[in-house]
Structure 1
Amino acid sequence: MADDDPLAKIDPANYYDDLGEGEWERLEESFKNSLEFENTTDYLDQYLPKSGHILDAGGAAGRYSIWLAEQGYDVTLLDLSAEQVAIAKERISKRDLESQVTVQQGDIRDLPFSADQFDATLCLGGPLSHVVVDDQRNKAVCELHRVTTSDAPIFVSVMGFVAVVQNLVKSAPHFETGVRQLPDLVETATYSAELAEKYEGDDPSFVECHFFRAPELRDLLENHGFALEIVAGLEGPASNFGTALEEIDADAQENVAEVVRKLREDPTIADLSNHILAVGRVE
Structure 2
Amino acid sequence: MSEIVRKYYDENAEQEWKRLQDPYSKIEFEGTMYLINKYFPKVGAVCDIGAGPGRYSIELIKKGYNTTLLEFSNKELEIAKEKIQELDLVAEAFHCRDARDLSVFTDNQFDALLVMGPLYHLINKEDRRKVLEESYRVLKPNGVAIIAYINSWGAIKAGISEFPESYSNIDALYKYLGEQSLSADVGFTECYFTTPPKALEEVADAGFDIVSYAGVEGFAAGFSNEIIKLYNENPEAYMNIVKASAENCESPQFRDATEHLHIVVHKNRK
Question: Structure 1-normalised TM-score?
Answer: 0.85
**1:86 Cα deviation (Å)?**
1.0
Contact 1:148 1:282 in 2 (8 A): yes
Query: In 2 relative to 1, CA 179–280 (structure 1 residues): closer, same or farther, beyond 3 Å?
Result: same
SS in structure 2 opposite 1:104? strand
Residue matched to 2:213: 231
Query: In 2 relative to 1, CA 55–243 (structure 1 residues): closer, same or farther, beyond 3 Å?
Result: same
Residue matched to 1:277: 262
Query: In 2 relative to 1, CA 184–214 (structure 1 residues): closer, same or farther, beyond 3 Å?
Result: closer
Residue matched to 2:21: 28
Give the Cα–Cα distance (whole angstroms) in 1 for the partners of residues 71 and 169 of structure 2. Answer: 29
Alignment of 1:250 with 2:242, yes or no, is no
One-letter identity of the residue aligned with 1:20: A
In the alignment, which of 43, 59, 66 is matched to residue 74 of structure 1? 66
Contact 2:47 2:112 in 1 (8 A): yes
**1:177 Cα deviation (Å)?**
8.5
Residue matched to 1:92: 84
**1:149 Cα deviation (Å)?**
0.6
* 1:82-121 alpha-carbon deviations (Å, 9 max, x no partner): 11111111111112223x3311201111112111111111
How much is the aligned-residue C-alpha RMSD, in angstroms? 2.3
Residue matched to 1:3: none
**1:270 Cα deviation (Å)?**
1.3
Contact 2:153 2:177 in 1 (8 A): no
In the alignment, which of 200, 204, 219 is matched to residue 218 of structure 1? 200
Query: In 2 relative to 1, CA 102–176 (structure 1 residues): closer, same or farther, beyond 3 Å?
Result: same
**1:47 Cα deviation (Å)?**
1.5
Contact 2:152 2:179 in 1 (8 A): no
Contact 1:185 1:191 in 2 (8 A): no
One-letter identity of the residue aligned with 1:279: V
SS in structure 2 opposite 1:151? strand
In the alignment, which of 58, 62, 75 is matched to residue 54 of structure 2? 62
Give the Cα–Cα distance (whole angstroms) in 1 for the partners of residues 169 and 129 of structure 2. Answer: 28
Contact 1:23 1:60 in 2 (8 A): yes
Aligned residue-pair number = 263
Query: In 2 relative to 1, CA 264–230 (structure 1 residues): closer, same or farther, beyond 3 Å?
Result: same
Contact 2:9 2:73 in 1 (8 A): yes
**1:58 Cα deviation (Å)?**
0.5
* 1:219-262 alpha-carbon deviations (Å, 9 max, x no partner): 11111111111101100221221121122212221342344245
Q: Alignment identity in percent? A: 30
Give the Cα–Cα distance (whole angstroms) in 2 for the partners of residues 174 and 180 of structure 1. Answer: 13
Give the Cα–Cα distance (whole angstroms) in 2 for the partners of residues 134 and 213 of structure 1. Answer: 14
**1:143 Cα deviation (Å)?**
0.6
Unaligned runs of 5+ in 1: 1-7, 197-203
